[in-house]
């Protein structure tokens, strides 16, 4: 804080941890960790009289995520005696509103997604819109000092601050790209703060932890992060073109990036993200140290699958009503069907046995059969007649809860960048 | 002949959204980066062969400013979907490490 930043920003989430957190409405990070980080930032921002802006609050940016983050901020403010104007920007539009826009032809698929249907929109467990910087700018214009937003484009909070300070959009968006993962553009990679200075013609990055350094390689590496193209970055309202960027070391720990360009889009769009329920999961973890079993693993697993099919059918569960997946660590647990190595090289093999079914009861019942038969199914030459598998836990069967899948990955055309992101204000 | 694990400074994979995987190979020497590019080994066809996708589905972009080559192609299963093995997509780079490049 001695470097007197003009804003503290956070990208609080991502689709990266998968569809569950958006679907279930729960945070990816623990409440203890979120509370700790919020307290540090609130104290610092209020003392320095600067804004604190958080995009994609609570990990996925849906209504429950925003409400959780707001509750923690109110509690911390009361404990610390902090006072400020709080803005909450919602990003989970009412479903009827999205249906109306779908019917008006304003929702288009992204990539190879099929066109969105009214049924898929209804079926979704939760749908969020990914806001750009404009709702943050509106909240700042209305005097908010702490801004908690639902789903937002990762760079949006910082782009908002820089654009509102009359800086051009290209370095403003680029600054956000560098800041969205904290100190990640530095080495050694770690999880703390990055200071970015935005200028008319470029940005300067420097990690605040003295053990880290930004180098042209560490910055170049981060510039490739999580984008399908390294040169064309589509954002709400335009495209950041980084084809002619230069990465120049300013010192042994700070880098200047210049040459980025911004091309405004003719139509303002925001991404819609939605997930739908896909069943309930139950898993069991075990491993084998038996070389005779490892030598005939594919046959053994096929036999177990056959027995599960037969026994589940015997209590009325048809094969098409569940998915049984036996993940084999030591063979292809990491790459699945893309694994080029087809032989186990190690002396032990780990398994995650997984069943997904419509109800938790069916998932647990089918998993129980699979677990028993992984443990006890005979095979030719078997010496380990008391059991094939080592189970590390009792209970061995773990209900994991609901499973979701990404079902909406589309863009919505907007006439006003703020129109589906209502803002409410509170005096804290 | 040297392989990518000996030549590159970074070779990594990651999600690019829930439906695509993106792989980056980054060098720290302009001459070496240019030689690797000129070798013609790192192509859409290479990723198609290693990852079982159609070459038409591979978006290959050299990025001179970062001395990097990026390839993006569809995931086998959308991130976190039933049967996915790697929610973050960050452990799918290994088949590239032993690709040999005549430089």
Q: Is residue B94 part of a domain?
A: no
Is the peptide bond preceding residue A395 cis, with omega within 30 degrees of 0? Answer: yes
Average pLDDT, chain A: 96
Cβ–Cβ contact A113 with B under 8 A: yes
Closest CA to A375 of A387, A385, A386, A364: A387
* Residue whose structure tokens are 């190595």: A341
Number of Cβ atoms within 10 Å of the Cβ of B57: 15
pLDDT digits (tens, 9 = 90+) for A250-264: 999 999 999 999 999
A138 pLDDT higher than 90: yes
CATH for B13 = 3.30.70
Nearest residue on chain A to B14, judged by CA atoms? A226
Residue B9 maps to a domain: yes
Name the domain count of chain B.
1
Task: Give me A340's structure tokens.
Answer: 């080029």
Would you say B88 and B21 are in contact if contact means Cβ atoms under 8 Å apart?
no
Q: In chain B, which ranges are E strands? A: 10-15, 20-26, 59-63, 68-74
* Residue A336 to residue B15, Cβ atoms within 8 A: no
Q: Which of residues 361-420 of A touch B (CB under 8 A)?
A: 403-406, 409
Q: Confirm whether B40 is domain-assigned.
A: yes
State residue A228's pLDDT score.
86
In a domain, B28, yes or no: yes
Q: Is residue B43 part of a domain?
A: yes
- Looking at residue A112, its pLDDT comes to 87
Do the domain assignments include residue B62? Answer: yes
Is residue A108 less than 8 Å (CB to CB) from chain B? no
Answer whether B65 sits within 8 Å of A327, measured CB to CB: no
* Pairwise CB contact (< 8 Å): A243 & B65: yes
Characterize the bridge pairing of strands A8-13 and A52-59. parallel
ipTM of this predicted structure: 0.95
Per-residue pLDDT tens over the stretch A22-33: 999 999 999 999
CB contact under 8 A, A338 and B68: no
* Within-domain flag for B96: no
Instruction: Give per-residue pLDDT as tens, B39-94.
Output: 999 999 999 999 999 999 999 999 998 899 999 999 999 999 999 999 999 999 99
Residue B100 domain-assigned (yes or no):
no
The answer to whether the CB atoms of B78 and A406 lie below 8 A apart is: yes
Residue in B15, B59, B82 closest to A229 by CB: B59
The residues, any chain, with a CB within 8 Å of residue A2's CB and separated by 6 or more, are none
The residue with tokens 């773990």 is A398
Tell me chain A's radius of gyration from C-alpha atoms: 25
Instruction: Report chain B residues touching chain A, CB-CB < 8 A.
Output: 9-10, 14-20, 22, 24, 26, 28, 50-52, 59, 61, 63, 65-68, 70, 72, 74, 76-88, 91-92, 94-95
At A142 the pLDDT is 98
pLDDT digits (tens, 9 = 90+) for A275-331: 999 999 999 999 999 999 999 999 999 999 999 999 999 999 999 999 999 999 999
What range does the domain containing B30 cover? Answer: 4-86
């Amino acid at each position: 804080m001695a470097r007197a930043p003009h804003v503290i920003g956070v990208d609080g989430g991502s689709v990266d941890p998968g569809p569950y957190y958006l679907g279930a409405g729960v945070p990816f990070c623990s409440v203890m960790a979120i509370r700790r980080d919020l307290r540090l930032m609130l104290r610092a921002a209020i003392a320095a009289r600067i804004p604190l802006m958080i995009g994609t609050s609570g990990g996925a940016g849906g209504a429950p995520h925003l409400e959780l983050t707001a509750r923690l901020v109110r509690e911390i403010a009361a404990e610390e005696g902090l006072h400020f104007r709080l803005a909450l920007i919602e990003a989970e539009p009412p479903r009827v509103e999205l249906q109306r826009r779908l019917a008006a032809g304003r929702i288009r698929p992204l990539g190879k997604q099929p066109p969105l249907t009214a049924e898929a929109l209804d079926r979704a467990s939760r749908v969020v819109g990914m806001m750009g910087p404009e709702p943050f700018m509106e909240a700042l214009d209305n005097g908010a000092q702490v801004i908690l937003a639902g789903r937002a484009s990762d760079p949006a909070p910082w782009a908002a601050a820089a654009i509102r300070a009359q800086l051009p959009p290209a370095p403003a968006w680029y600054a956000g790209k560098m800041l969205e993962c904290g100190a990640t553009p530095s080495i050694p990679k770690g999880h703390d703060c990055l200071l970015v200075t935005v200028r008319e013609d470029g940005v300067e990055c420097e990690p605040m932890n003295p053990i880290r350094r930004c180098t042209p390689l560490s910055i170049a590496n981060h510039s490739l992060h999580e984008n399908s193209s390294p040169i064309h970055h589509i954002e709400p309202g335009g495209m950041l073109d980084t084809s002619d960027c230069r990465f120049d070391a300013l010192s042994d720990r700070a880098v200047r990036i210049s040459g980025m360009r911004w091309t405004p889009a003719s139509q303002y769009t925001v991404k819609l993200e939605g997930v739908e329920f896909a069943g309930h999961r139950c898993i069991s973890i075990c491993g084998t140290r038996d070389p005779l079993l490892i030598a005939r693993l594919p046959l053994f697993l096929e036999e177990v699958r056959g027995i599960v099919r037969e026994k589940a059918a015997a209590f009325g569960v048809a094969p098409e009503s569940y998915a049984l997946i036996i993940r084999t660590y030591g063979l292809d647990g990491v790459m699945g069907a893309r694994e080029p190595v087809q032989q186990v090289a190690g002396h032990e093999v780990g398994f995650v046995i997984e069943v997904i079914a419509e109800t938790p009861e069916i998932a647990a019942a089918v998993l129980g059969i699979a677990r028993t038969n992984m443990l006890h199914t005979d095979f030719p030459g078997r010496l380990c007649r008391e059991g094939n598998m080592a189970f590390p836990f009792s209970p061995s069967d773990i209900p994991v809860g609901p499973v979701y899948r990404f079902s909406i990955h589309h863009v919505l055309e907007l006439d006003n960048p703020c129109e589906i992101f209502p803002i409410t204000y509170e005096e804290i | 002949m040297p392989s990518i694990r000996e030549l590159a400074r970074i070779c990594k994979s990651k999600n690019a959204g829930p439906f695509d995987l993106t792989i980056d190979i980054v060098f720290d020497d302009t001459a070496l980066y240019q030689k690797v590019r000129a070798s013609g080994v790192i192509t859409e066809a290479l990723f198609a062969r290693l990852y079982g996708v159609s070459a038409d589905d591979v978006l290959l972009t050299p990025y001179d400013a970062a001395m990097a080559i990026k390839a993006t192609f569809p995931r086998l299963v959308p991130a976190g979907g039933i049967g996915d093995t790697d929610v973050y997509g960050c452990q799918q780079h290994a088949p590239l490490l032993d690709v040999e490049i005549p430089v």
